[in-house]
Chain A
Amino acid sequence: MTHSDKSDPFGEGQLLDDVFDVLGNVQRRHLLYFLREHGEASLDELADVVAAWIGAREGDDVVTPSDRNRVYATLYHIHVPKLTEFDLVRVGTEDDEDVVALEPLPEGLDRILDEALELESSVSKEAVAAIRDER
């Protein structure tokens, strides 16, 4: 289990385990959806978008500054480092050291993100409600 092996982070039979590990978090998925569309963004912008997007999906009335700041903190401390570890994003470009930029994604991960995004839009609310009801 050598996640730090940068040369082949998704190789050697680890591919699906690692893909689902990375995608098993709603903030990381939305960060990746956004960067696939825009290539790069500042951490401030990512925190705004990820917080607002998830809030809108979950039917929150209003996403508040403290909601958004919590997202900023987890992106900064947990999710961006994790995505960097898997070589999916890099922090800092020639022009801007604070920008988060998307790296070329492994083909499998790209495909699963496509599917995940569609499921996110169509299924999430009903499915989440159903799962909660069953508990």
Chain B
Amino acid sequence: MALTDIITAAEADRTVLRVCSPTEYDGLTDRFSHRNVVVEHTPLPASDGEGFVIVRRGDEFVGSVSLDALDALSHPRTPAPGSRELEGDNFQQLLGLLDDTVFTSFDRRQMLATAREIEDRAWRTGRGTLYTGFQTLSAMEDQLRVYRQLATMSELDVHVFGEGNWNPPDIENVTVHAIDSPDITNVWFVAFDGGGAELNRCALLAVEKRPGAYQGFWTYDPERVGAIIDEIRSAVDMNEEEETGGGEPKA
């Protein structure tokens, strides 16, 4: 299955975000309209100051978080991996609930905010392999600070892919693959293999539909992340290159 087929398969699921609060949360529907997410509002008694969000997918209760999680979602930030700002963040919890969430039009900033969650998880885990596809390597230029930070984790192996239109500086533990296969250069991805712990696996995968408008999904489903990583590795012949599997820093 090509990476773009994996995106199509993820679109089959639909998520309902039920916001329970005394007053309607302004503009929330607009905020999610570019995603495969239906937003409903359920009034709570007026004297109740708090609120919460229930996430359901099909007939399944997925989880709920308090309403302040949405503030972060509507103001996506891109703090550095491992920074205090990300710790215990409701945004991360809500991302977890919106697991396998399909989005139809993420801008670059929203993509970066979601990518940063995955890079942060890799940084925190401190080992394993992170795969990042930037479409073109020149897109990495803005992200050098982040990737230098990731490289401080000596047991974290980082592979960066993209069309070779720029020569990134050498960074230890970061292997750059200049590649022109459309399978890789048509998509923006960040995938983390969990460093041996399946529960830490996560991935973001999207295609650029129009300049600056991305369609795709993110997932914390270990199997789906595994499928994405397999696809990346076979597209660039890494399976033969490193038959013993990832995780070991390349010399």
Which residues of A approach B to under 8 Å, CB–CB? 33-34, 36-38, 47-49, 51-53, 55-57, 59, 61-65, 68-69, 114, 117-118, 120-122
Does the CB pair A121–B47 fall under 8 Å?
yes
Task: Report, nearest first, the 8 A-B pairs whose CB atoms are least far apart.
Answer: A52-B64, A56-B52, A56-B66, A63-B64, A52-B52, A68-B61, A62-B63, A121-B49
Say yes or no for B45: interface residue by CB 8 A criterion: yes
Residue from B18, B52, B56, B88 in contact with A55 in the complex, judged by beta carbons closer than 8 Å: B52
Say yes or no for B223: interface residue by CB 8 A criterion: no
Q: Measured between alpha carbons, how far is A4 from B50 in the docked complex, in Å?
A: 36
Does the CB pair B61–A49 fall under 8 Å?
no
Does the CB pair B63–A63 fall under 8 Å?
yes
Most buried by B among A59, A64, A122: A64
Say yes or no for B151: interface residue by CB 8 A criterion: no
Q: Measured between alpha carbons, how far is A68 from B52 in the docked complex, in Å?
A: 14
Q: Which residues of B contact A114 (CB under 8 A)?
A: 47
Say yes or no for B82: interface residue by CB 8 A criterion: no
Q: Which residues of A contact B62 (CB under 8 A)?
A: 65
Q: How far is the CB of B230 from chain A (nearest CB, A)?
A: 28
Say yes or no for B51: interface residue by CB 8 A criterion: yes
Q: Measured between alpha carbons, how far is A38 from B43 in the docked complex, in Å?
A: 8
Q: Which residues of A contact B52 (CB under 8 A)?
A: 52-53, 55-56
Does the CB pair A56–B64 fall under 8 Å?
yes
Q: Measured between alpha carbons, how far is A64 from B93 in the docked complex, in Å?
A: 11
Q: How far is the CB of A16 from chain B (nearest CB, A)?
A: 23
Given contacts A48-B61, A56-B52, A68-B61, 20 further A-B contacts (CB under 8 A): A48-B64, A49-B20, A49-B42, A52-B20, A53-B20, A55-B64, A55-B66, A56-B50, A56-B51, A56-B65, A56-B66, A57-B50, A62-B63, A62-B65, A63-B64, A65-B61, A65-B62, A69-B61, A117-B47, A120-B48
Which residues of B approach A to under 8 Å, CB–CB? 18, 20, 42-45, 47-54, 56, 60-67, 88, 90, 93, 96-97
Residue from B42, B44, B60 in contact with A65 in the complex, judged by beta carbons closer than 8 Å: B60
Q: Measured between alpha carbons, how far is A64 from B50 in the docked complex, in Å?
A: 19
Q: Which residues of B contact A38 (CB under 8 A)?
A: 42-43
19 A-B contacts, Cβ less than 8 Å apart? A37-B45, A47-B61, A48-B18, A49-B42, A52-B64, A53-B52, A61-B65, A62-B63, A62-B64, A62-B65, A62-B97, A63-B65, A65-B62, A65-B63, A118-B47, A121-B47, A121-B48, A121-B50, A122-B49
In the complex formed, the residue of A with least CB distance to B90 is A61
Q: Measured between alpha carbons, how far is A52 from B44 in the docked complex, in Å?
A: 12
In the complex formed, the residue of B with least CB distance to A59 is B66
Q: Which residues of B contact A53 (CB under 8 A)?
A: 20, 44, 52
Q: Which residues of B contact A121 (CB under 8 A)?
A: 47-50
Q: Measured between alpha carbons, how far is A63 from B67 in the docked complex, in Å?
A: 13
Q: Which residues of B contact A65 (CB under 8 A)?
A: 60-63
Q: Measured between alpha carbons, how far is A36 from B46 in the docked complex, in Å?
A: 12
Q: Measured between alpha carbons, how far is A34 from B52 in the docked complex, in Å?
A: 13
Q: Measured between alpha carbons, how far is A62 from B92 in the docked complex, in Å?
A: 11
Q: Which residues of B contact A118 (CB under 8 A)?
A: 47
Does the CB pair B56–A48 fall under 8 Å?
yes
Q: Measured between alpha carbons, how far is A55 from B50 in the docked complex, in Å?
A: 11
Residue from A34, A49, A64 in contact with B63 in the complex, judged by beta carbons closer than 8 Å: A64
Does the CB pair B54–A48 fall under 8 Å?
yes
Residue from A33, A51, A59 in contact with B64 in the complex, judged by beta carbons closer than 8 Å: A51
Does the CB pair B93–A61 fall under 8 Å?
yes
